[in-house]
Amino acid sequence: MLVNVLVIGSGGREHSLSWKLSQSSKVETVFTAPGNGGTKNNVPISVDDLDGLADFAQKNNCFTVVGPEDPLAAGIVDKFNKLNLKVFGPSQQAAQLESSKIWAKDFMKRNDIPTARFEIFDDAQKAQEYVKSLDYNVVVKADGLAAGKGVIVCNSNDEAISAIQMILVNKTFGDAGNRIIIEERIDGIEASYIALSDGDVAIPMASSQDHKRIFDNDEGPNTGGMGAYSPTPIVDDNLAKIIQEEVIEKTIHAMKREGILFKGFLYAGIMIRDGKPFVLEYNVRMGDPECQPITMRMDFDLYDYFIASVDGTLSSLPSATWKSQFAVCVVLASKGYPEAYSKDDEITGFDSVPEGAIVFHAGTRKSGETILSNGGRVLGVTALGNTLESAIANAYAATEKITWSQKFNRKDIGKKGLSYL
């Protein structure tokens, strides 16, 4: 019997998940709520309307996949479970790994998971005095969810002091910044390591590397991510084994010991210094834009693995298999992002994108047959290639075809990986 799937969210991650799930021989229709200009079968229910989503899933007999962090932090999985609705993703308790950076840091500390040394503050003056006493640079983080922007990497005491002011005093991130973490800045190479867990075991996904800063050469403010590629040569087999054992499995097992089964995607943002991994942050869902190149390379039925995660039967499935090619995703954003940007600009050129490249939509909406910009990160142009170099070339060749007046993208996505090959 074929099943319906409901993917919750409206970003590039959700478009790529719904694209991959719709290829499963076991899936009839994939609905996306609320979806975007590129997703099919959109359902006009927002991600924070948990009752509306549950009602739709029940009436349409859906297996539900939760894309973004906000509904997970709000307890959507617990709600669906109470109603006996099958849903993929972590419970509200498990989602604290992302929804409270302080909870996550304390969890790592008590379970001996490698991370930077840190202190926690809710008083700006004390925080600023602490920073002045240090002889190393720091990262200042808001405790709660801030759409990927609540982390400020500081190059000096003055920058740290103004970051503290911005979060604790000016309340730039609202209540998410009622408390902050000040941690040692670890300088190294960053990579994303994502695994799929059922609470007992964790199957690694392909490695990837995100590009967080808005401008080339990693300059300018942090964003939700301006592009990604997979696999990354930065994470070789040896390092992958260390991260899998010392970070991922340790996290899953420690959660279980503390009475929390972690089901879903566990994402560790890793900084590698002198060959050793340190956890910068956890996410409790697939990364965006890492999801786009990772799903392009999947050589397995993702639906089977999602069901096994929910049912606790991942150990009975084979390891995930991957296409040997590289995949690169270049994010096309609206000029001005991550600050103010315009919306409702008409986007053209979809028909001339070369075969083999896929344009995953994020901040878009459809008006009749026209696609309009509707967000900061607008599209994720993703392509495969037999080498990293050719995948980069293929992705950029496809981005050239797509135009609108406010289009902006980085020109160096994937280049960091080339120096390792």
pLDDT score of 148: 67
Backbone angles phi, psi at 367, to 5 degrees: -130, 105
What does the mean pLDDT of the chain come to? 96
Instruction: Classify the C-alpha dihedral 156-150-340-217 as positive or negative.
Output: positive
* Percent of the chain whose predicted confidence (pLDDT) is above 70: 100
Sheet with 189-198, strands from edge to edge, namely 202-204, 189-198, 263-273, 276-283
* pLDDT, tens only, 329-365: 999 999 999 999 999 999 999 999 999 999 999 999 9
Sheet with 364-367, strands from edge to edge, namely 346-347, 370-373, 364-367
* pLDDT, tens only, 380-405: 999 999 999 999 999 999 999 999 99
Per-residue pLDDT, averaged over 84-97, amounts to: 98
Q: Is the pLDDT of residue 258 over 70?
A: yes
Token pair 């076991």 is found at: 26
Confidence at 190, pLDDT banded by 50, 70, 90 = confident
Per-residue pLDDT, averaged over 188-205, amounts to: 95
Q: Going by DSSP bridges, is the β-strand pair 377-385/263-273 parallel, antiparallel, or unpaired?
A: unpaired
pLDDT score of 396: 98
pLDDT score of 146: 82
* pLDDT, tens only, 74-87: 999 999 999 999 99
* pLDDT, tens only, 293-319: 999 999 999 999 999 999 999 999 999
Dihedral class, residue 127 (left if φ above 0, else alpha if ψ from -120 to 50, else beta) = alpha
* pLDDT, tens only, 148-158: 678 889 999 99
CB proximity list for 359: less than 8 A, separation 6 or greater = 38, 350, 353, 379, 380, 381, 382, 398, 402
Q: Is the pLDDT of residue 373 over 90?
A: yes
* pLDDT, tens only, 124-146: 999 999 999 999 999 999 998 88
Q: Is the pLDDT of residue 421 over 80?
A: no
pLDDT score of 354: 96
Token pair 């994939």 is found at: 30
Q: What are the structural domains, with CATH classification, of the chain?
A: 3-88 (3.40.50.20), 123-178 (3.30.1490.20), 189-316 (3.30.470.20), 326-418 (3.90.600.10)
pLDDT score of 221: 87
pLDDT score of 386: 97
* pLDDT, tens only, 53-74: 999 999 999 999 999 999 999 9
The span from the CA of 359 to the CA of 330, in Å, is: 10
Q: Is the pLDDT of residue 39 over 90?
A: yes
Q: Is the pLDDT of residue 245 over 70?
A: yes
* Percent of the chain whose predicted confidence (pLDDT) is above 90: 94
Decide: 177 and 121 in contact? Cβ < 8 Å: no
pLDDT score of 207: 94
Dihedral class, residue 113 (left if φ above 0, else alpha if ψ from -120 to 50, else beta) = beta
What is the radius of gyration, based on Cα positions, of the chain? 21
Per-residue pLDDT, averaged over 263-279, amounts to: 95
pLDDT score of 234: 92
Per-residue pLDDT, averaged over 28-50, amounts to: 98
